Structure 1
Amino acid sequence: MLLACIPTQAAAANLPPGTSKAVVFLLDASNSMNTNDRERLAKDSIAQLIYSLPSNYYVGFAAYNTSVVSSVGMQDSGDREPVMDAVDTVTYIGYTNAGAGLTTAMELLDTVSASEKTVVILSDGEIIMNSDDATAESSRQFQAAVEAARTQGVRIHVIGLGADMADEDNTIFSASAQTNGVNYHAPQSADIQAVIDSILQEQLGVKKTRAAIVDTDGGTEDITVNIPSINTSRTRVLLTSENPIQNLKADFSAVNGWQYSGSRYTLLELDHPTDTAVHITFQGRAGGQIKVDVISEYVLVTQLQVSYTDSNPTEPEAEYPDRMADITAAFYDAGDSDRQMLTDPVFQGMLIPVMVDGDVTPCYLKDGAVTFQRTVPAGVKASIQFDFTRLDTNLILEQPISMELEGPAALPKPPLEDYRPQIIVGSLILLALISMLIIWLASRRKRAKVVPQPPATTAAGGAATAPTARTEETSRYGYVGRLNIYITNTLSGHDFPPLTYNLFRIPGGKKLSLQEILESCEVDEPFEGADKIFFQPAAGHCLLLTNESDCTLMQNREILMKGHSYEISLNSKVDITFEDERSEIALQYRDVKPSDMRLLAAEPQ
């Protein structure tokens, strides 16, 4: 029963492009449902699903017995009442023509464009018609609809109601197995509510938080529910119980508000709430329990800003300077481009990994924005996607985002000069040197003798190995730059902020282990194998990385083998999975400007 409704909600069609999703609920309305759903609790469960879905969902409904007896779709978030009106008129009578029902559900989905499409079937038995031929035809039609769903990427979840649906070989259950869906068994109609809750969270990814559990005594209950923020685009407060919820009254502050109630659920929907407190009074049956959940959503658009930093190229023959783009992504209300979102304290410091053209960078929310970098070798179009899985709210925004990045201007070319005199003089000098070399070689050939090879060193196990001159050579060079350290996974699950280790302060002859670097950064988390990964300075401002551990080291999708040394150039990245196979670190070797180096050198160690 609908208690209150104001029909002016934001429609799914008006949301950011590419964010729309669609669900059709398909109900078995055959005569056997009179036995398995005497209290008509399926209606409550359908309403709970429909009204709990975020604003970017289209919803539709179809019911079947001997034929399709009801069909409504597809309704956006501003017009879901016709679906419930259709559910209220369904009576349980006739045979079970699931083939016609699923065909209709697929036809409803074909009328909308959505990034995800789902069918939820509630049935209490096999396909049965009034003749063998009719039953065979319905089964054929059902399988054809399942195959269409599979090829179109439509997932089908099946709720099997009653004892007859305990058999997983039931034809209806085959729909989920073929479309990457899930089967659920509800022995009693009262169990449907918990199944719907599982589908919402686990299959449709709708996030909600538990606000309260109230043990009722038959009298009036008085509670205050705190919603996470007044900046949400929409917040839903859902009350569910195994018994009727009666005389519910709600006091809240929002731009608009709606209340939907059934026999065992009540949902309050607040459009742009202006207060975090929702005061609710109600009555429940003595000895009962009522669960209170909060479902919040943000409808966002992303605004990107970029600045560029050019530096001298590392390659002497380069025609362009090295360019780094510093990109800031801020999130705003889709309905108010001046209202920045995700600025509440609850979001500060939350980890939001950002994927740019397939490379993931750990970023942290600060004042409603994240900042990350991307090298720009030339003018490119970057694909950007944000991972919000760590946030306990539903975020609706278009992803991925495409962004044009400007390439650097070409370096000036030196003026052309007439080099012919130098070439002539150089050629004469070269001829003279060649003549002198021939004379020297001829004289040396007469008194040549064998030069002994350097003595070999003995490795573990007694095998002789040639001496490695690499380490002695690198001691001639000094450290430059810094290491940016991103700890992305640990055994303890603790989060660490990005760290920086200034290499230029370290004496050139010192050989550093990764363990020493982490300890200097006051990281007390164990990283197995870090003491066997070493760094030394090398030519061309490179780092020489030597791996003596059993860790997995990757650079540009290439594995850095154990027992080998590798040159790591500036602006390179190395990903390390440690010997415990869970702890992970990303290292970026970055340059330091002379001005920044002087400031950092002046700071205490």
Structure 2
Amino acid sequence: MFKKWISSFIVITFLFLNSSSYIVRAASPLNSTSRIEGMLVVDVSNSMKSSDPNNISNEAMKMFIDMASLKGDKIGAIAYADEVMREKALVKIQSEQDKQDLKEFIDSVGKYSYTDLSTGVKEAVKVLDSSHEQGYFPLIVLLADGNNELDPKKAKTGKQANEDLTKAVADAQAKGYPIYTIGLNADGKLNKEVLTNVAKSTHGKFFEASSADKLPAILSEIFANHLKLKIVPVNQVVGNGQYQDIKLNVPNDNVLEANISLISSQPVEVKLLDPSGKELAIPSDQVLLSKSKTYSMVKLMKPVQGDWTLKVKGVPKDKIDINLVFNYDLQLKLGPLAKQTYNAGETVKIGAFFEDNGTVITDTNIYKSMKATLFVKDLDKGKTEEVSLTADDQGFTGQFKIGNASGYEVVVKAEDNSFFRETQPQKVTVKKAAAAPVTAKPSSTETEKPFPWLYVGLGVIGALLVAALAYLLLTKMKEKNRGFSGQIVVEIKDEDTGERTNPQFKKLKGFKGKIRLHQLLSLAPEFTETEHIIFKPASGDTLLLVNNSECTIEKGGRAIDAKNGREVKRNDRLRIVLKKVNKTIYIEYIS
């Protein structure tokens, strides 16, 4: 902590002494991409045996996983009843095996007794909080019937459960986590109102699914809404025992993936011909094939532009529903304005262009196939004007005239029949009328002398050094006697049996200076390897975690390096994988 403080102090001193030549430069924003952080949350209470007897929820989650990109999408899963029963932290997908592991986890979840809807939503928000990364689009997909059935042996009331759900939904809305709800209604007992409100409150959407044939359209729409894509219409096919040709047009070379979902009551066979008429092997490096009980998913990687042919062979009279969603990893960027501020009546020229992960695209034909519109918002009146932009090989261009407002906000939107993108809003500043200058009379008796900046600077530096030394001594004196606040919740899972202990709440108030995890585990001999996992009190009701053991510590499903210290905030959850025994320790720092 002190080293960081001194480093910051040296940097500030350097900038002070070189202030005449220092120029502030705006940091370049991180490029947004089409990657997602999707938490799949499913009700696994006993009531789902009647609400979802055919395990539509499992098929939906597996289809969501199959639609995810192989370029780093993150997906996790939570199975809840009246508490979280099973959980799979967000997994960054890098291979088909990663997807297979997720699907096997989903198939392994059983059914439990009671239901508390708030439990699943609250846990999903907590996982996204701990694992969110810049450049990812978080979302929650909730599969449930919307009904609560609380354990009468527990103290929680229906009113409390509803209040907890309201709070969890408000938390998701405040953090920008849309919740897409899929209502399962095989028994006609769906609580549509609850699930609709959850979705609407978080800018998600509600869907109803009583049969598996509704899933492709639902999941395609969720992906399309969330990643600013559009579902490309494909004709429905009725099987006749022979291969039937379906034409698929790839509009440009910037398509990252083409997701083709086929759902039918009987198995189907598929072949795929590229625009040259060559048949591609399925599966292969370019074409991935996933199958489940109710669907087949063909994922075409980086397809070339042109007309492709999908050959589909189905059982006679079997209806085959087909959905197509293209995935793009493109960002629409505004070009720099000619100047920072404008006068009323001046014309502002606007340019926008596509980038692929920070690199300007090479296939510029995409501009000619898209419609681009400039939205100009008057920040004084709140009114928005639309201006059509023209396209060329460099992007989209246009202009608008400055009016009498004190400022404007501009956004460019470009779209075709398969996707759309919007730029980040950019403000246009308008100069205010200059005030009359006030001229000060020079003194006739005194000659102006330069201000002694050098001496002042040296004095400030000396004072800061003295303060730093005093701070160091005071910190060292207090460190050994510094107290803790809050509690750590400890759960232990036996990986051989899958059994978990009941949560143990360890109050930290009685400890001073530092705590070894082994102390919180009652110094049990089997956990001696946790002796070198240490917690220290830190500022702002946080803990400093130091890991000098061989144990692996994960946060949000990702291993963290805590050898040099890692901050642990309230409500942070950690997973500690032991090396000497096949057990895992889960801890959470709470108030």
Give the structure-2-normalised TM-score.
0.53
What residue is the counterpart of 1:87 in the other structure? Answer: 106
CA distance in 2, matches of 1:398, 1:56: 23
Cα deviation code 1:256-314 (max 9, x no counterpart): 443322233222323322253444344323212223333223333556667979xxxxx
CA distance in 2, matches of 1:50, 1:234: 17
Measured in 1, the distance between the counterparts of 2:329 and 2:77 equals 25
In 2, Cα distance between the equivalents of 1:44 and 1:289? 18
Residue 27 of structure 1: which of 42, 66, 70 is its match? 42
Segments of 5+ residues of structure 2 without an aligned counterpart are 1-28, 275-279, 379-383, 432-591
The residue correspondences of 1:167-316 to structure 2 (distance < 5 A) are: 168=191, 174-176=197-199, 178-188=201-211, 190-201=213-224, 205-217=228-240, 219-252=241-274, 256-301=286-331
User: What's the CA shift for 1:138?
Assistant: 5.1
1:126 aligned counterpart, secondary structure = coil
* Equivalent position to 2:373, from 339, 352, 355: 352
Q: Is 1:328 the equivalent of 2:369?
A: no
Instruction: Choose which of 357, 362, 375 in structure 2 pairs with 1:339.
Output: 362
- 1:181-228 Cα deviation digits (max 9, x unpaired): 5444334455455544554456775411123322102x2424253333
Deviations 1:85-110 (A, max 9, x none): 32222223333243322221111221
Aligned 8 A contact 1:15 1:56 in 2: no
Give the match's secondary structure for 1:128: coil
Larger Rg: 1
Contact 1:67 1:100 in 2 (8 A): yes
Change in Cα spacing, 1:176 to 1:324, as seen in structure 2 (3 Å) is closer
Residue among 49, 66, 69 paired with 2:85: 69
- Please state whether the residue corresponding to 2:268 is helix, strand or coil: strand
Residues 340/324 of structure 1: CA separation in 2 closer, same or farther (3 Å cut)? farther
- Give the letter for the 1:46 counterpart: M
Residue 9 (structure 2) aligns with: none
Cα separation, partners in 2 of 1:34 and 1:170, compared to 1, 3 Å: same
Which letter does structure 1 place at the counterpart of 2:58?
K
Counterpart of 2:32 in structure 1 is 17
Tell me the distance in 2 between the aligned counterparts of 1:87 and 1:147: 28
Once the two structures are superposed, residues 454-482 of structure 1 have per-residue CA deviations (whole angstroms, 9 ceiling, x without a partner) of xxxxxxxxxxxxxxxxxxxxxxxxxxxxx
Residues paired across the two proteins, number: 380
| Counterpart in the other structure of 2:151 | 130
Kept in 2, the 8 Å contact 1:166–1:185? The answer is: no
Tell me by how many angstroms 1:27 deviates: 0.8
Task: Name the SS for the 1:39 alignment partner.
Answer: coil
Deviations 1:16-59 (A, max 9, x none): 23766543221111233334434333222223334446779643
Give the Cα–Cα distance (whole angstroms) in 1 for the partners of residues 422 and 428 of structure 2: 16
Residue deviations 1:439-463, cap 9 Å, x none? xxxxxxxxxxxxxxxxxxxxxxxxx
C-alpha distance in 1, partners of 2:427/2:362? 22
1:399 equivalent in alignment to 2:424: yes
- Give the secondary structure class of the aligned counterpart of 1:87: helix
Structure 2 counterpart of 1:155, one-letter code: P
Aligned equivalent of 1:118: 139
Name the amino acid aligned to 2:147: E
8 Å Cα contact 1:165-1:185 kept in structure 2: no
Across the aligned residues of Structure 1 and Structure 2, the Cα RMSD in angstroms comes to 4.4
Distance 2:72 2:417 in 1: 17
Question: Structure 1 residues 335, 149: closer, same or farther in 2, change over 3 A?
Answer: closer
CA distance in 1, matches of 2:323, 2:140: 24
Please tell me the residue identity of whatever aligns with 2:289. Answer: Q
Alignment partners' CA distance in 2, 1:76 and 1:65: 26
User: Matched residues in 1 for 2:303 and 2:365: separation?
Assistant: 15
Report the Cα offset of residue 324 of structure 1: 4.3
1:75–1:361 CA distance, 2 compared to 1 (3 A): farther
2:456 equivalent in structure 1: none
In structure 2, C-alpha distance between the alignment counterparts of 1:322 and 1:191, rounded to whole Å: 54
For the 8 Å contact 2:34–2:329, the answer to whether it is kept is no
| SS state at 2:236 partner | strand
SS in 2 for 1:48: helix
- Residue 397 (structure 2) pairs with residue 371 (structure 1): yes
Percent of counterpart pairs with the same letter? 17
Mapped to 2, the partners of 1:320 and 1:118 lie a distance apart of 42
Deviation string for 1:548-571 (max 9, x for gaps)? Answer: xxxxxxxxxxxxxxxxxxxxxxxx
Provide the rounded CA distance (Å) in 2 between the counterparts of 1:385 and 1:56. 28
* 1:44 matched to 2:69: no
* TM-score of the pair, normalised by structure 1: 0.52
Q: Distance in 2 between matches of 1:66 and 1:343?
A: 50
1:112 is displaced (CA, Å) by: 0.7
- 1:120 CA drift (Å): 2.4
Q: Partners in 1 of 2:59 and 2:112 — Cα distance?
A: 19
CA gap 1:277/1:404 in 2 versus in 1, 3 angstroms: farther
Partner of 1:567: none
**Quick one: structure 1 residues 249 and 343, their matched pair in 2 at CA, closer, same or farther if it must change by over 3 Å?**
closer
Tell me the residue number matched to 1:59: 75
Match of 1:361 in 2: 387
Deviation digits for residues 237-257 of structure 1 (CA, Å, limit 9, x no counterpart): 323323133343445579844
Distance 1:149 1:135, change over 3 A: same
Whole-Å separation in 1 of the counterparts to 2:190 and 2:92: 36
Segment drifting more, 60-69 vs 352-361: 352-361
Q: Is the 8 A contact 1:235 1:294 kept in 2?
A: no
Stretches of structure 1 that go unaligned for 5 or more consecutive residues are 1-13, 310-318, 408-605
SS in 1 for 2:390: coil
Residues of 2 paired with 1:195 and 1:125: CA distance?
A: 18
SS in 2 for 1:227: strand
- TM superposition shift of 1:381: 10
